Structures are given as structure tokens and as C-alpha cells.
Chains A and B, each alone.
Chain A
Amino acid sequence: MSVVWTDTVKQIAGIDLHLTRGGTGPTVLVLHHDIGTVDQLPFYDALAEKFDVLIPHHPGWGKSQRPQWLRSPRDIAAIYAWLLADLEASGVSLIGLGFGGWIAAEMASLAPRDYAGLVLVGAAGIKPAEGEYIADQAIVSYIAYPKSGFHDEAAFARIYGDVSTDQLEAWDIAREMSFRTAWKPYMYSQTLPHLLGGVRAPALIVWGDDDRIVPLSSGQAYARALPGASMTTIPDCGHFAEMEKPDTVAKLAIDFLSRK
């Protein structure tokens, strides 16, 4: 079964925000990684079998315009809350991938009763355990960084091939946006963990067991901070779990968000 995806542009907070939408069912907002997202992923298609899937490009990333004033993932969370209001979407579930997981957690913390479910996959946003760090993309090359987010290099090659120059440029822009929004402290918030206790949405924390970008201890911290959250790890899987193990992550998300 093939999914029909539609691209639209939404005017939010003074910028043109790119939104891809496909599938039918309850609405799910999917928030991409710090490295942006490619247009097509098997993971997205799998979700669209069961859900009305919204995939925006973060403001400043990919095809979305850059707001010069944007400073934090919490700002991005507010932009997406605005987007959902404009779309008159309700009962929305959030799937946050890596950096996008941080944005999803911010959204949930700001509107604790608003979301039907929360799935965080290798989410940034919380400081890992003492002595562990979220990997710093600032000091590694454009290809080395995404590669380090896969357990199996073949999985990286499946998505990115030889890596086009357009892709390298997109990664540089994505990196610049990561710096503009998450430079210091790098990739986490010192206040977020204290603000998650009111979230009513059931939460599932998913982590690749070989995530070399966001340590598992950050996931454990999410599991502690979000009431009633459950956590699962995926074997032989890196940080970009939805690209490396699309079927597994899709099944976990669909089962979790479909349960009554």
C-alpha cells in the first residue's frame, strides 16, 4: 500500500514552515533529529498506515525558513503548538526523534493535558549521568557525526548512499541551527527534568542499545521524570533508530499509541 504525502507551507511566527502530511487515523506529530530529515523514510510510511502523520521541518532546518530570533527548543515547541492550533488538531500524539524528542518533551511540559501519547526515541534534552556526555557534533566532520549515530554502517549507507553535496550542505545548515538553539548547555535543558512531572500523556521511551550520541542514562532520566513512563531498548541499534530499525520502532510506536 502506498501512502500519499502532501507538502504544504504554513505561516507561523513570521516564517514559512514546511509541513509534510500523509495517512489517516489519529494525528501524530513526528519531530525530526538535529541533522534534519530526508523526505522519504520507511518509518514514516509505516506510521501513515495507522495515523494522520504530520512531519514538519524544524524552523531553520530543511525547507523551513529561519527565524533569526529563535534561541531554544522551547521556542520550537511553541511554534509547533501554534501549528497544531492552526490545524485545529486535537488528541495529538508526539513522536520525538533525538533532538526532536527534546522538543516533544518541551511541548508536553508546557501543555501537560494536551497530548494523547508521547514517544521519545533517543531523546536529547536531559543531561546524562555524571561522566557521560551527549556527543558534540561541533568537533567532528559532517559525515562522521551522522555515521556515529548508526550501529551498523550499512544502515547509514542505505539512507544516505555516498552522501550528496546537497545533503552535506543541509547538514551544515542543520548544524548551525543546532548551535543557534542548543549550544550551551549543549543539547540539554537544566530546567526540563523538573517540569515533566505534570505530563498526563502516557510516555514510551525508546533507545538504541548502541546509541553513541545520547547516552542511555538520559533516557532513564526521562523515564524517571515522566509519570508512568515505560522504557524499552532496541538491540544492535544506534541513535538514529527510526532509520536503522524502522520496522521495530514503527511497531513499538504504533502499538503504544494505539492501545486503549
Chain B
Amino acid sequence: MHMMYFTEQPMSAYDAKAGLDYGATALTFSNSYFDPNEGSRLYNEYLEEYIMAEEYGADGIMLNEHHNAPFCMQARTNMFASILAAVTKRVKIVILGNPLPLTENPVQLAEELAMIDMISKGRLVSGFVRGGGQEQLANGVNPAFNRERFMEAHDLVQKTWTQPGPFRWEGTHYQQRVVNPWAIPMQKPYPRVWIPGVLSKETVIWTAQQRYPYIALNTSIEATKQIHETYDKAAAEVGYVAGPENFGYLIRVHVQDTEEKAMENARQFMWMQGEFTGLANPVWANPAGYFSPSGRRAFVEFSTGRAKNPRGNPTFEQQVNDTMIIAGTPDQVIERLKYLVRETRPGIMGIWANDGNVSKDDRRRCIQLLCGEVMPAIKEYGATLGLNDPWEANAPVHLRYSTDLVGQKVAAE
């Protein structure tokens, strides 16, 4: 099992009251509340903590990006990935992920990722995401073409990584005269690609069709099982049997020496008060055209206050009861995580450990206990359940490199 440390890198040093008074902590909440001196301090602290996570035993560091909001300070995931490529030695650098539709130049993105792969000496895992609705609005990218741009940018990146240049690309959303970047990835055929997600069935199916691992982002156990079913069915249709190496799961966990302190800090997972992306107008998260047309009716009803949020708005206590948040001493956390692992059977596990206003000392103690005690215990337990990660399973990077497809004689190299 592959176990990663994750934090949203919260910009906790802002006036929370200002956000509540304004009624939103995303997109249009003014950046006049951002203090770059505090930003500098936090960026550097978070960087030190990633290095600690490696020292204490994490297999990977999971990175992401968001825009125009205090809940996440990373505006470009490749920047932290580049720094970590140079300053860490062993951990996988797991980008989950680059929001493909936001790029106007997928070739340069492919080039940047190849550089990170080389600088890290082959430790890059290059996840891709559609990006949330607010990310499209913050970057001026048309939400109505989000999925088309995701698919086409993926295909162009993949071709850039695997087909010798120069070649030309004349797509619907991207046109490139000469694709021939000199930086290409060190890992062959190309760095592993994992796809994280929350809601979209279309993405689960597409991910299974590529044979990429799907990382469920803190979905309920029930929803996670449904994701597996959808994935398994799509995998069977293209000729392979999905295993734990095809699934990842991200869970919020906070560990301290006492249960009381762990619970107190875990409440910071509720820091943003609303959705995990902060207080926001629903149409920012789901601008027209971004979401599947099948969800249109339910969404317009929810967004105008006529229906409940389909994702619910559970309290902290409910989320602890439902194993959406785990907090406690190492022993307590290990017990709950074992239950979760039994139920969801992931080969890849992300631990979202610190959010909001957890103090520097507590964040670091959490990392020590988590990476030093909890992760090894869960890895050992996972091994007894046969929960292999993609490296342990020697899984193909993409469907096209499979050698075990039903009816297949020779791998299509």
C-alpha cells in the first residue's frame, strides 16, 4: 500500500470574521485579506513539514492547487512539486492534480512535468483533474468546454510524452505547430497518472477506460463502494479486472498524543464552514456547462435553495461517526483506519492531516505520529489484505501497455 501525506496548505492567517461577514471565502472574497508576510511564513513551514513527512516514513507527498481562496495556498502545484523534487530524496511526488482544462498549452505542461520527473530522478506521479468550477472562473477558462479540454489536453500530453517529435496537433481546443519539447519524462513509458475525484461518474468511467487509478477524495464509504462498482464495470468492458492498485482513498485524519487534543485540532477540518472549498455561491462551484447534464435539474433546485445540497452538510460529530474524519491517538486512529481500509480496499491512501489553524507544533507532532506510527501499521495491515499499490502490483501505466487484457495476445507497445 502506498501512503501519502496531504495538506491543503491553508492560508489560515486571515481574518475569518471578514469572510463570514462577506458570506463567501472563495472566488470574490478580496485578496486584500491576504498577508504575504504570513504567506511567506506558512509556505516555508509547509515545505519543512513535507520534508518531515519524508523523514518520518511517508511513501508520498500529495499536492494539489486551488485559486482565489484561503483554504489552499498552492496556486500552481508544479511549483511545490519542483521544489520537492530537489529537496526530498525518496518520497513519490504525487500531483493530484494538474487541472488540465486550465492550461492553454498542454505541451509546456508536459515539458514541466518531464522536468520534475527528471529532477526528482523518476519520483513523479502526475495526476490530472478537471479543476473545480471556481478554478475555471478564477482563470477565465470556459466551463462549458471543461471536459472536452480535459480529454484533449490529456491526449496531447500523453502523445507528447510517448511519441518522438516533431509532430503537429490540430485539435478542437488546442492547435500546436511543432510539438517537440526537449524535456521528456525519465519514467517509461511515462510517469504514473492517477485521477482524483469526488462526484462525477463520467470521470470514474473514463479513468477505468485508461486503467489509471481513481483516488476517491473523502467520499462516504457507501459512495466509495459505488465508485468501485462503476470502475469495475468499465474495466471489465475494456478487458481487465480492477484490483486495489486501481483505487485510492483520501481521508482526513488528525493524530495527537491525547484524544482530546486530536479532536480539538480535527475540528479545524470544519474551518471553511461550508463545502470543503469554502463558503461560496453554488454557481461558482458548478458554472453552467461544467456539470453533467444529468445533474442539471437537481443542481438548479439546490442552487436556488429549493433542495438540500446533494452532498449534504454534515456536522463534525456526524463526520467522525461516519468515518469521514478520523481523530485520536495513534492506536485509536489505527483501529478506525483498519476499518476503513477493510471497507474500501484501496492500494493507495492519502492522509489529509492538517487543516485550518492547527499550530505549527501540533502539525509537526501529527506528522511524526502519523508517518512514524500510523502509516507503517496500516501498510502492514494492508499487506495482509493483499492491498497492493500500482508498483507492488506492477500495474501498467495505461491500458495500452496491458499484457493481460481479455482476448489479448501481445501488448500493444
A residues lining the B interface (CB < 8 Å):
138-143, 163, 165, 168-169, 171-173, 175-176, 178-180, 183-184
Contact = CB atoms under 8 A, between A and B. Distances in A.
A172 B288 contact: yes
Given A165-B301, A180-B289, A140 B144 contact: no
Contacts of B142: 179-180, 183-184
B288 A141 contact: no
Q: Which 8 A-B pairs have the closest CB atoms?
A: A175-B288, A176-B289, A168-B300, A176-B288, A179-B144, A183-B142, A180-B144, A172-B288
Interface stretch (B231-239, B279-287, B341-349): B279-287
B304 interface: yes
The A interface is mostly helix, strand or loop, or mixed, namely: helix
29 contacts: A138-B143, A138-B283, A139-B28, A141-B281, A141-B282, A141-B283, A141-B303, A141-B304, A142-B283, A142-B300, A143-B304, A165-B300, A165-B301, A165-B306, A171-B300, A172-B288, A172-B299, A173-B296, A175-B287, A175-B288, A176-B144, A176-B289, A179-B144, A179-B287, A180-B142, A180-B144, A180-B145, A183-B142, A184-B142
B144 A139 contact: no
Contact of A165 (B143, B281, B297): B297
A179 B284 contact: no
Contacts of B281: 139-141
A13 to B, nearest CB: 18
B227 to A, nearest CB: 26
Contacts of A168: 300-301, 304
A169 B288 contact: no
A151 B165 CA distance: 59
Nearest to B143: A179
A139 B281 CA distance: 8
B151 to A, nearest CB: 14
Contacts of A143: 304
Given A140-B283, A165-B301, 20 more contacts: A138-B143, A138-B288, A139-B27, A139-B281, A141-B281, A141-B283, A163-B304, A165-B306, A168-B301, A168-B304, A169-B296, A172-B299, A173-B296, A179-B143, A179-B144, A179-B287, A183-B142, A183-B144, A184-B140, A184-B142
A55 B284 CA distance: 32
Interface in B105-158: 137, 140, 142-145
A136 to B, nearest CB: 9
Contacts of A141: 281-283, 303-304
A139 B296 contact: no
Contacts of A175: 287-289
Given A169-B296, A179-B144, A184-B142, A138 B301 contact: no
Nearest to A186: B140
Contacts of B145: 180
Contacts of A172: 288, 296, 299-300
Nearest to B27: A139
Contacts of A142: 283, 300, 303-304
Contact of B284 (A139, A171, A176, A178): A139
A138 B296 contact: no
Contacts of A180: 142, 144-145, 289
A175 B142 CA distance: 12
Interface string B207-240: 0000000000000000000000000000000000
A165 B137 CA distance: 25
Nearest to B133: A138
Contacts of B288: 138, 172-173, 175-176, 178-179
B165 to A, nearest CB: 29
B284 to A, nearest CB: 6
Contacts of A171: 300
Nearest to A141: B283
A163 B305 CA distance: 13
Contact of B287 (A138, A163, A165, A169): A138
A225 to B, nearest CB: 27
Interface in B267-323: 281-284, 287-289, 296-297, 299-301, 303-304, 306
A179 B144 CA distance: 6
Nearest to A165: B301
B295 to A, nearest CB: 10
A141 B288 CA distance: 11
A163 B304 CA distance: 10
A88 B296 CA distance: 39
Contacts of B282: 141
A183 B144 CA distance: 9
Contacts of A138: 137, 143, 283, 287-288
A179 B296 CA distance: 16
- Scoring A143, A176, A178 by chain B CB atoms within 10 A of each residue's CB, the highest score goes to A176
A172 to B, nearest CB: 5
- Scoring B28, B140, B282, B287 by chain A CB atoms within 10 A of each residue's CB, the highest score goes to B287
A178 B283 CA distance: 15
B283 A179 contact: no
A140 B24 CA distance: 13
B136 to A, nearest CB: 9
A178 B142 CA distance: 10
Contacts of B144: 176, 179-180, 183
Nearest to B142: A183
B300 A169 contact: yes
A251 B301 CA distance: 38
A143 B305 CA distance: 11
